[in-house]
Structure 1
């Protein structure tokens, strides 16, 4: 009976649409340390953590995490020119 429920739950999960992309993302490197701040266009759920605007600004300004040059996250946030 539990196996049947597990199969049904898995089928329902596959039918659900994926969650929306976050506006900002923090890329994690080795040992889960923050590596780069990205915009939504770079989103990859395998190695990025969804963050909000305030967290992105905090990471760039106080956390010492650099922006990814291709998506211009710092420029989009208005943090760096």
Structure 2
């Protein structure tokens, strides 16, 4: 069985990807909205953050955002490509 992934359409169209990815997006849609609608994120997107709020976000929140790719990379190295199903 060939498990090679090939996108079938536009980069930003979810239908171009495997069905399981659509399920992940559906399952996390409510959480995404909670984040997008959070007062800090809303104020940031509308350029309404006060200086003290922006500073607090950059000191406390940004390190989590910045370190997340490194965390994921470290954990993805533990996986074998094409390994056992569900790995």
Shared fold, TM over 0.5: no
Higher strand share: 1
TM range (shorter): under 0.3
Higher RCO (CA 8 Å, separation ≥ 6 residues): 1
Higher helix share: 2
TM-score normalised according to structure 2 size? 0.25
